[in-house]
Structure 1
Amino acid sequence: MAKGRVPTRDELLTFIKESTTPVGKREIARAFGLKGDQRIELKELLRDLRDKGDIAADRAKTFKPPGALADIAVLEIVKVDQDGHLLAVPRRHDEETEGPPPRIIVDPHAVRGGVAPAVGDRVLASLKRRGKTSYEARIIRRLGSGPKKILGLYEEPAGAGGLGKVSPTDRKLRREFDIKPADRNGAEPGDIVWIEEIGGHLSRRARVIERIGRMSDPRTVSLISIAANDIPVDFPEAALEEAERAKAAPLGDRLDLRQVPLVTIDGEDARDFDDAVFAEPDPDHEGGWRLLVAIADVAWYVRHDKALERAAYRRGTSVYFPDRVVPMLPEALSNHWCSLVPNQDRPVLVAEMWIDADGHLKRHRFHRAMMRSAARLTYSRVQRAVDGMPDEETGPLMDSVITPLYGAFRVLLQAREKRGALDLDLPERLVKLGEDGRIAEIGVRERLDSHRLIEEFMVLANVAAAQALEQRRSPCLYRAHDQPDAAKLEALREFLGTLGLSVPAGPRLRPADLNRILQAVVDKPVARLVNETILRSQSQAVYSPDNVGHFGLALARYAHFTSPIRRFPDLIVHRALIAAFGLGDGGLAEADRTRFEEFGEHLSMCERRAVAAERGAMDRYVAAYMAQHVGATFAGRVTSVTRFGLFLSLDGTGADGLLPVRSLGQEFFRHEEGRQMLIGERTGESFGLGDRLRIKLVEADASTGGLLFEFVDVVERVERHALPRGHRGKRPGARPDGPRRPVARRPGGRDKRSRRRT
C-alpha cells in the first residue's frame, strides 16, 4: 500500500472489501497517509463509488461492500454446526438479498444477560466482519422466537378429508395440528415428527420439517426424549478425529502407582471405568486410614478450546437411557484411554487422603499419576465376597484390598451418620430390556453396602478437591445445594403436621431434623410419601463459583471431581487442581478463570436437560410396557393431589398416571391444598396423599408417557390430623407466588427421578 498518495479506485475498493469492520474517511486517510487537499480528493472518490453502487454507506458515515451487513442487525439462530457453534442469518435475508446468506457465528462468550440463545431465537446483535462473507455476532438482547417447533405423532385418521393430524408428545400441549398433503414431507402414519406451526399461534395448521422414527420401533422412545430436549448426539468430525489421534500418556513426572492394587468397582453392565480406590490403615494414627481415589486424567486428552472440548462442553454431561447412552466424550476416550481397564497403564489424577478414627479428613494431597488396575470388580461380586462367598478373583483380594476398603468405609459411614447427612430412602427403578428392545421387566435396583462404599469414597474426594482449591485460592466450581427456602419449609411443616409429624421451628433447618422424621415413619404406610415429600421440598443442586455448602450431604464445601468422563464440571475441577498444584499440561486456561459463573449456569442447564430427557424416556418406556395391560386393575398410592384429580404410583412398577376427579363420583370435590386432599361436598368422602387405591388402567400413550386411570375402590387410607380452622397452607414444594400444578390433558403423569444426582 503506497503511503502519501490518494489510492486508485481499485485500491480503495480492495481496502474497503478486505476490512473486517466498516471504515470511515478518517480510517482510510490514516491508512493511506493522506493530508490536506488529498482528503478532499478522497471524499470525492468515495462519493463517486457510492453513487455508482460500488460501496455502501450507513448512518455512521462508514463504508463497506454493497452486500455487507450493518454493524447492528436482527438475526435468527438457525442451527448448530459440527463444531458446536451457533450459526445465524440476517432475519430478512431471503426477502432482501440474493445469493447464499453470509456465515455468522455467534460468540458464546459475549451474551449479555447470561441467557444463551437457542435455535429458532431472534436476536439483536452487533456484527464484526471476519472475512468477505463471514461475521462474528455479539448478542445485545433476545427479541423472541421464530416459528415454534413441536414434536408429535403423525396420523391420518379416517374421515379427516385427507388431512394428517399431529398429536404433540409434550403433555402440556393440548391441541392437535392439521397437516395438508403438501406439507407432509414424506411422513407416514405412526411417525414421530418435528412440525412447524403455520399461520400464527392460534392456527391449527403446521408442516412436517423432519421425521424422527417410527413409534412402533422401541428405539424411538429414547429418540423422542433426545429430540424433545435437544440433546446433542453426533460428534463433530474434528472432535472424533482428535479423539482417534489420542495415544498413551507418558509416565514423565507422574507418580508411579502401578504397583498399588487399585481396583474399580462398578455395575455389571458398565463399559467405562473412570474411578479406582485403595485403602490401608494409617500406621501413624490408630484407627485412621490412608485412602487413594484415582480418577481418569481426562484433562490430559481434552484440551482448552479444541474441537473435543467444545463438543463436550456443549453436551455438559452424558445422558443415560434404558437402551443407550449419549456420551459426553467419544468412545475412543470414554471406553479406552480414559477407562481404567485391568492390567493397562492409565494416566490418573489422584486424591491421597488421610482420615482419623472418627472419619474426619485430616489432610490430603493431589497427584498426577500412572496406575494399573488390579481388577475390574462389580458391586454384587464385592458384596458376596464380604458376605463370605468370594469367587476366584475376589478371594485373593480379600485381605489386601477388599477388607481394608470396608474398614475405611465403616469409619466414613459413621462420620456421615454423625454429621447428619440427609438419608432419604427412595428405591431406584430398574428397567430391563428384552432382545426386541422393549421392556421385559421393571423392578427396583438393589442397594448394597458396596454401592455405599464407593459413594462415601467419592464424597470424601469431592470434599478434598474443594478444600484444596480453596487453600490455593483457586477458582472452584462448587456443587451447591442450598437450604430449602422459607416458603418450601413452611409448606413442608404444614403438610407433615397433617400426619402428626413436626419439623423444628425457626428459619434454619438441619438434615438431621429431617432424618428424625424419616426414622419415625420407617415401615409405616406413609414412609414413601414422606420421603418423596421431603425430596420435593429441597432446593435444586446447581454448579456455582459461590459456595453455599451442600445441605443434603451436611457438608460445608463440595465439588464434583470424580467423573470427568461424563460430567464437564469435574473436568473443570481437574483443570483447576492441575493449575493450582503445578501438575503439568492441561490445567485451567487463564481465559477460563473469569468464566466460572457462565460455566455454572450452562452446566446446570445441561444437567437439567439430561434429567428431563432421562425421566421422559423412562415414562414413555413404562407407558409402552403398560399398554399391554390396558383394562387390568392395579393398586397404587396417591403421590400428588390437584383440583382436577389424583396422580398415583403403581405398586411394583412405579408407573405414574392420572386419576381424573370425574372418576371419583358424581359430586363436587373440594381441593384442600394445605392438607393435600380432595373432599366430596355431599358425602364427605376424601382422597389424599399416601392413600392406597385400586384403579383400572384405561389408556397408555407411549408417545407422551402418559397413563390414565379409572377409580375402582379404596384399599387403605392414611390417618390424618386436622389443620387449624380457616388455615390454607401451600403444598410442599410450592413456589412463593403459588403452587405449580400438573396440567390436565390426555393421559399424564408426574416426572420422577430415575437416577440420583448429588
Structure 2
Amino acid sequence: MIQGEGMNKTEIRKNMVLELLAHSEYKPMKAKEIQALFGIKKRDAAELQEILDELTVGGKILQTARGKYMLPVEEWLKTGKYVGHPAGYGFVEVEDLPADIFIPAYRTGGALHGDTVSVRIFPESAGAGKAAGKRMEGEIVKVLKRGFTQLTGVYQSAKGFGFVVPDIVKIGTDIYIGRGLSKNAKTGDKVVVQLNSYGVAGEKPRGEILEILGSSASVEVDITAITRSYGLPQEFSEAVLAEAQKCGLAVPPQEIARRLDLRQELVITIDGEDAKDLDDAVSIRQVGDAFWLGVHIADVSHYVTEYSELDMEAARRGTSHYLVDRVIPMLPPALSNGICSLNPGEERLTLSCIMQIDRQGKVLSHEIRESVIRSSWRMTYTDVAGLLEPERCQPEERERLFRKYETLLPTLRQMAECAAILKAAREMRGAIDFDFTEAKFILNPDHSVAEIKAYDRNIATRLIEDFMLIANETVAEHFFWQGVPFLYRSHGEPKEDKIKELASYLKALDYPFRQRANLHPKDLQRLLAEAEGRPEENIIRRMVLRSMQQARYSDNNEGHFGLSLKYYTHFTSPIRRYPDLQIHRIIKEILTGRWNNARQEHYAGRLAGVAVKTSALERQADEAERDVHKLLKAFYMEDHIGESFTGIVSGVNQWGMFVELPNTVEGFVAISRLKDDFYEYESAEMALTGARYQRQYRLGDAVEITVLDVDKTRKVVDFSLYEETVLPEKQSGFKVEEKLAGSEKNGRKPKRTALSKEKRSHREHKKGRGRK
C-alpha cells in the first residue's frame, strides 16, 4: 500500500513528523523550527501544533523542558522521584540506577520537590566519556504525578496580594496568593495552602489559603503544620473507631483454648518510659549450654482482619508517626494501647517465635506458634540498664532497683548473656552497627523545648534490638524455604557514586579505606571500628549511613546488606508497621491450615503493591520526623543566641562549614564570616584553607562557635567562630526577634556557655520566665 492509501490527511502529516524525528541527522527542534522546515504557512501552524500535541500525549514523541521535540529513547528515559534543593536545582532518584541524576535549575521543567517525573539523561553525562567525579545530568521531560496538592507555610501579606513561604524548604519557591484568597491571614500566620497551579514560564505557583493554623511562633502549631505538609492522617473515622471498640477488652476463652498457653511463663516487656503501644515481650530459660529465647509479638491480625475498616485505614497510614510531642498511631488507641498492647498482668494473644540458641549464636531449632501470654513485668530501658550496669546509677537508685527487681535479676543476666552472644555472632559475619548519636528532646508543658541531649542507647535497648533482629531473621528464613509469598526487608549494596563520595570524605580525614568493586559489609564494619572513641566517630557513622541505599520492603528476598543477612523481614511491630501486620496474616493462615492455592495466588498478586506503598509511607514518615527535629533544634537554639560552645566540623563546602554540637544540633558557619584570612574550599582535602596564613578547617576539627542567628522557617541555625563573632544588631524576616542583652548588641564578644542546670536557672531568673 502506498503512503496515503487508506489514511486521512492528519495521519499522513503525523507520519511525516515521525519520519522527520526518526531521521539520523535530526536534532531536537521547537515547533516553529519544524514549521519552517516543512514550509508550513503561519495560518496552518495551529494544525501542526495540534499534531505535535497528539503525538506527545500518545507517547509517540516527547517535548523537552526547553520545548523541543524528539523521539523517546527508552535507554535514556527514566521515571523517578524529584528531590528539590532550595537553590533551584535538584536530583531525580531512580531505583535501578547506580546514582541520582542531577537536574540544573533551568531544566527542571516546572517540577517541584516530591513530584514523580519522566527524566531524560544526557548520554554524554552517563557514557564512557563521562568526566571522572561528575554526576549523570538530565532534564525533566514531564511531571507524571504531583507530590503535593497542599502545603503549609508562613504567610506574608503585601498590597493586594500575599505569598506563602513553604515549610518544606526543598520546594524552593514561594506560593503566590491572589487578592481575596488569603482568608484574612496576617503576616506571620502558619497556614495551609491549596496549590491551584504549579508555575509555568518562570511564574511562581499559585494557591489559596484553606486554613489558618495559628501563630508561627508556636512549637505546637509548627509541628501540626509539618504533619499537614506531609499529609499525615489527623483523625480516625467514626467507622474505624466503632470497629475498634467491637474488639472488646478481654481475650475470648475459646481463643485461649486453641493456642500455646504461656501465661505461666516469666514474660516481660522492656520499652521506653512513655511507651504505651507495647507490641513485643521476651522470655528466656537456659537448658544446658543453650538458651531458649522467646520473642512474643502482639497478634494484631486476630483483631484487624483483611479489608476491614481497620485494615484499610492501617494500610493507608502504613506506620505510626512519633513526632516528639505527639504520636499519630497506625491503629486506634483502643487497639494500640488497649487489647493489642502487651500490658502487664493482662492476657494477650501473641505470635511467638521460640528459638534454641547455642553459644556461637546459631539458632539450632525454632518454632513459630499462635500463643497467649500474661506479661509479668513492664520494665523500662532505664531500669534494666541500671540493673545490668549498676555503676550507671546513684547509690539510692541502685538500691531501689535491686530491691524492686531482685527476683528478676537472674533472668535479666541470662538475657544479657544471650544478647552478647548474638551481637558477637552478628559482628563476626560483618553486620554494621549504626550506633550514632541521636537527639532526645525534653519538652515543657507548653510543648517548648526544655533540653536537647544525646539519646542514651544503653545495654537494655541493645538487648531488645538483638532479640528482635534474630526473631526477624528466623521468621524470614523459615517462610522463604516454605516458598510462600512474603514481605521481606531488603537493603541493597551501596551505589557506586555514594561509595566514591564516602571514599573522598575518608581520604580527607586520613582514614584507610580501600574502595573496591564488590564491597562487603565487613569493609565498613572495620572502618567504624577504627573510628570508635574518636571525636569524629559520629560524623563517620553518619557518612557511612548516607552512603547506604535506603532499606525498603519487597516481595522478593534480596537480602540485607547492612545486617549481612540472606534473609530478613519485619515481624516484631504489627501495632505500628503495616508490613508486619501483613505477614502475620500469612503466618496465621499457614499455621491454622487455611492456606491453599487461592490464598497463594491472592498474596502473590497483592504483596508487590503493599511493599511499594509501605516503603513510600515509611520514607514520608522519616522526612516528617527529620523536619520536626530540625524545627525543635531551631526553637531551642533561639534561646542560646550569643552563647558559645565547642563542636566538631561535620561538613565542608565552598560556602562554609557545618559544626555539630555534643547535643546533636548542627549549625552553619558561612565562609564570609571567616575574617582573619581569605579562605578557599579544597575539595580533595574537604577543607577550608586560608590563602595567606594557611590555617585550615577540616572535617573532624574541634572549633569553638557562637550561636549567631536562627531561622525557624528554614529550620537552620547560623554559627560564627568565637573569635570572629560580632553579634547582629537586628533580626529580620521570620528569624528570631531581638534576644540579645545590650552588651551583646553593642558588638562585644559573647560569653562562653555550657548548657548546665546552673546556667539555665540563672538565665530563667534573669529573663523572668520558666522556659529557655
- TM-score, scaled to structure 1: 0.71
Superposition deviation, residue 554 in structure 1: 1.9
2:123 corresponds to which residue?
none
Alpha-carbon offset, residue 144 of structure 1: 4.9
CA distance in structure 2 between the partners assigned to 1:600 and 1:621 by the alignment: 32
Cα offset, 1:594, TM superposition? 1.7
* Amino acid in structure 1 at the alignment position of 2:192: W
Distance change (3 Å), C-alpha of 1:174 and 1:350: closer
Name the CA distance, whole Å, in 2 between partners of 1:705 and 1:197.
23
- Whether 2:243 is the aligned partner of 1:242: answer yes
* Aligned counterpart for 1:594 among listed residues 605, 620, 633: 605
CA contact (8 A) 2:509 2:699 kept: no
How far did residue 564 of structure 1 move? 0.4
Equivalent residues in 2 for 1:326-341, closer than 5 Å: 326-341=328-343
For structure 1, which segment, 368-377 or 674-683, has the greater mean C-alpha deviation from structure 2 after superposition?
A: 674-683
Matched residue SS, 1:508: coil
- 1:378 aligns with one of 367, 377, 380: 380
Change (3 A) 1:273 1:192: same
Of 152, 173, 186, which residue of structure 2 is paired with 1:188?
Answer: 186
Query: Which of residues 601, 609, 622 in structure 2 aligns to 1:611?
Result: 622
1:329 positional shift: 0.6
User: Which residue in the other structure is 1:16 paired with?
Assistant: none
SS in 2 for 1:629: coil
For residues 459-495 of structure 1, give each alpha carbon's deviation from its aligned partner in whole angstroms, at most 9, with x where no partner exists: 1110111011112111221111122222322332333
Identity of aligned residues (%): 34
Residues 144 and 548 from structure 1, CA distance in 2 versus in 1: closer, same or farther, beyond 3 angstroms?
Answer: closer
Is residue 2:623 matched to residue 1:622?
no
Q: Determine the C-alpha separation between the residues in 1 that align with 2:735 and 2:657.
A: 12
- C-alpha distance in 1, partners of 2:193/2:602? 40
2:231 maps to which residue? 230
Return closer, same or farther for 1:598/1:668 CA change in 2, 3 Å cut-off. farther
Contact residue 382 and residue 394 of structure 1 kept, 8 A = no
Taking the aligned partners of 2:328 and 2:184, their CA distance within structure 1 comes to 28
- Structure 1 window deviating more from structure 2 (364-373 vs 221-230): it is 221-230
Q: Unpaired segments of 5 or more residues in structure 1?
A: 1-71, 74-112, 124-140, 716-744, 749-758
1:470 maps to which residue? 480
Paired position in structure 2 for 1:263: 268
SS in 1 for 2:469: helix
- Are residues 1:366 and 2:368 paired? yes
Matched letter for residue 423 of structure 2 = L
Amino acid paired to 1:591: H
1:537 aligned to 2:547?
A: yes
Distance 1:549 1:747, change over 3 A: farther
Deviation for aligned residue 1:403: 3.1
- With over 3 angstroms needed to count, the CA separation of the structure-2 counterparts of 1:415 and 1:561, relative to structure 1, is same
Equivalent positions of 1:478-557 (< 5 A) are 478-557=488-567
Aligned-partner Cα distance in 1 for 2:489–2:289: 30
Residue from 300, 305, 308 that aligns with 1:298: 300
Task: Give the corresponding residue for 1:354.
Answer: 356
User: 2:285 matched to 1:280?
Assistant: yes
Residue 622 of structure 2 aligns with an amino acid whose one-letter code is V
In structure 2, what is the equivalent of residue 254 of structure 1? 259
User: For residue 631 of structure 2, what is the amino acid of its counterpart?
Assistant: R
Kindly indicate whether the alpha-carbon contact (under 8 Å) linking 1:351 and 1:366 is maintained by their aligned counterparts in 2. Answer: yes
Q: Which residue of 2 aligns with 1:452?
A: 462
Structure number with the higher helix fraction is: 2
- The 2-side partners of 1:145 and 1:614 are apart by 22
**Change beyond 3 A, Cα 1:604–1:508:** same
Decide whether aligned partners of structure 1 residues 590 and 251 sit closer, same or farther in structure 2, where only a CA change above 3 A counts.
farther
| Counterpart amino acid of residue 318 in structure 1 | S
Q: What's the counterpart of residue 210 of structure 2? A: 209
CA distance in 1: counterparts of 2:602 and 2:483, whole angstroms: 17
1:676 CA drift (Å): 2.1
Alignment match, 1:68: none
- The gaps in structure 2 that reach 5 residues or longer are 1-56, 59-95, 97-111, 118-141, 391-397, 726-732, 737-772
Q: Which amino acid aligns with 1:190?
A: G
Q: In structure 1, the residue corresponding to 2:639 is in which secondary structure?
A: helix
Aligned position for 1:631: 642
- Tell me how far 1:268 sits from its aligned partner: 1.1
Structure 2 equivalent of residue 67 of structure 1: none
Residue 436 of structure 1 corresponds to which residue in structure 2? 446
Alignment of 1:652-691 (within 5 A): 652-665=662-675, 669-681=679-691, 684-691=694-701
Partner of 2:769 in structure 1?
none
**Cα deviation, residue 229, structure 1:** 1.4
Please give the alpha-carbon distance, in whole angstroms, between the structure 2 residues aligned to 1:442 and 1:473: 48
Q: Kindly report which structure 2 residues correspond to 1:113-152, keeping only aligned pairs within 5 A, or say none.
A: 143-145=144-146, 149-152=150-153
- CA 1:148/1:337 → structure 2, altered by over 3 Å: closer, same or farther? closer
Count matched residues. Answer: 580
Q: 1:144 to 1:405 in 2, by over 3 A?
A: closer
SS in structure 1 at match of 2:219: coil
How far residue 396 of structure 1 moved from its aligned partner, in angstroms, is 2.0
* 1:565 corresponding residue in structure 2: 575
Q: State the 1:240 CA deviation.
A: 1.3
Displacement after TM superposition at 1:683 (Å):
5.1
In the aligned structure 1, how far is the partner of 2:228 from the partner of 2:345? 40
Partner of 1:182, secondary structure, is coil
Q: Which amino acid is 1:631 matched to? A: G
Distance change in 2, residues 1:551/1:470 (3 Å): same
Q: Tell me: higher relative CO, structure 1 or 2? Use CA pairs within 8 A at least 6 residues apart.
A: 1
- Give 3-state SS (helix, strand or coil) of 1:183's partner: coil
> After alignment, is 501-510 or 371-380 more displaced?
501-510
CA distance in 1, matches of 2:500, 2:163: 46
Q: Give a deviation string over 1:674-722, Cα, whole Å, max 9, x none.
A: 432233455544333222333332321223312122344499xxxxxxx
Tell me: CA distance 1:337–1:121, structure 2 relative to 1, closer, same or farther (3 Å): same
Match of 1:84 in 2: none
Per the alignment, do residues 122 and 547 of structure 1 end up closer, same or farther by CA in structure 2, a change over 3 Å counting? closer
Residues 623-667 of structure 1: per-residue CA shift (max 9 Å, x gap) = 111112223333332222222232222x23321222222222497
Secondary structure of the residue aligned to 1:460 is: helix
SS at match of 1:172: helix
2:314 to 300, 306, 312: 312
- 1:219 aligns to what SS in structure 2? helix
Deviation at 1:232, TM superposition (A): 1.6
1:671 Cα deviation (Å)? 3.4
1:422·1:514 contact (CA, 8 Å) conserved in 2? yes
Name the CA shift for 1:383/1:196 in 2 (closer, same or farther; >3 Å): closer
Residue in structure 2 matched with residue 645 of structure 1 by the alignment: 656
Paired letter, 1:167: V
Pairing 1:699–2:709 present: yes
Distance 1:525 1:382, change over 3 A: closer
Alpha-carbon distance, 1:121 to partner = 9.4
- Of residues 425-434 and 388-397 in structure 1, the stretch that sits farther from structure 2 once superposed is 388-397
Distance in 2 separating the partners of 1:636 and 1:424: 21
Secondary structure, in 3 states, of the residue corresponding to 1:603? helix
Aligned mates of 2:273, 2:644 — CA distance in 1: 35
- Cα distance, 1:175 vs structure 2: 4.6
Change (3 A) 1:147 1:362: closer
Check the 8 A contact 1:474/1:580 in 2, yes or no: no
Amino acid in structure 1 at the alignment position of 2:633:
V
Give the Cα separation in 2 of the matches to 1:122 and 1:270: 36
Partner of 1:59: none
How far apart are residue 365 of structure 1 and its match? Answer: 1.0
Q: 1:122 to 1:573 in 2, by over 3 A?
A: closer
User: In 2, are the aligned partners of 1:706 and 1:747 still within 8 Å (CA)?
Assistant: no
CA distance in 2, matches of 1:667, 1:150: 43
SS at match of 2:170: coil
Matched residue SS, 1:566? coil
Once the two structures are TM-superposed, the CA of residue 456 in structure 1 deviates from its matched residue by 0.8
The one-letter code of the counterpart of 2:234 is V
What's 1:735 paired with? none
Cα gap change, 1:146/1:170 in structure 2, threshold over 3 Å: closer, same or farther? closer
CA shift for structure 1 position 358: 0.8
Separation in 2, partners of 1:747, 1:409: 48
Q: CA deviation at 1:266?
A: 0.8
